[in-house]
Amino acid sequence: MNISKNNKKFALFLDSGQGGLSILDYYLKSNEFANVIYFGDTAHFPYGKKHRDELFQYIKSIYDNLKKEFDIAIVVLACNTASVSVLDLLREYIKIPIIGTVPPIKVAAEITKNNKIGVIATETTVELDYLSNLIDEFAKDKEVYMKASNPLVKIVEEDSPDDEKDKIIEQELKMLKEKEIDTLVLGCTHYSLIKERIEKYFDNKINVIDPRDGVSKRIKSISDDSINSTIPERILFLSDESSLDKYKKINDKLKIFNKIMVRYID
């Protein structure tokens, strides 16, 4: 049975956890009437260490499952790792617009004053050629220091105590602080949820750049009013029941979704 009403069209946001909510929440502030589905693939969290073939199969299965039930007009990979790993494969398979989330290297290169840029991302993002190619294209005349940091993803997803978050931030970013960077690129959407704590660690003296603004503008430029409704439908799917209570609490704070449910994907 189709649980959507009135033949609504949806924007589908995908991530392995709550990181992509940073993009969705930002987007909805400028388009409050959008019908959205957010699929948190919590059963396969984190995506940051997954192989390209695995990620493609996970996301392909999610899309195939949901498209049987919902009229999906646009897909947003609200995950840097998935975007740099399988965006090309998904664009060949899915015949509707797909927007990826990639580290904003070009923006960083344009605003740095001392030409020292830090980039933090998951292990997979750092290892793939996609990020290196972005640096070669837009920041080849800059000093760019990359740091893989899955622990930062973990403290966000687990909502660790503030003192633990600050401890991990110091451990993970100490090297970049010592390099005296003046610009830091957040290469994972989870990091956006601790952006203020990261800025505080750097004494609020550097530019911390995340992809939320650019991705939101891209969604608005590609989509049209067909995904909007006077009374929008907002659905959160999780692929693991054990995380249901946690996401209900998250939604109590964000107040995005009017439906939350578990959807197991083969």
| Residues annotated as catalytic (active site), given as ranges | 79, 188
Strand partners, 11: 36, 74
Instruction: Put the strands of the sheet holding 143-148 in their side by side order.
Output: 143-148, 116-121, 183-186, 207-209
Q: Kindly state the tokens that stand for 179.
A: 């390099």
Closest CA to 212 of 198, 191, 229: 191
- Cβ contact 236:247 at 8 Å: yes
Euclidean distance between CA atoms 205 and 207, whole angstroms: 7
DSSP one-letter code for 30: T
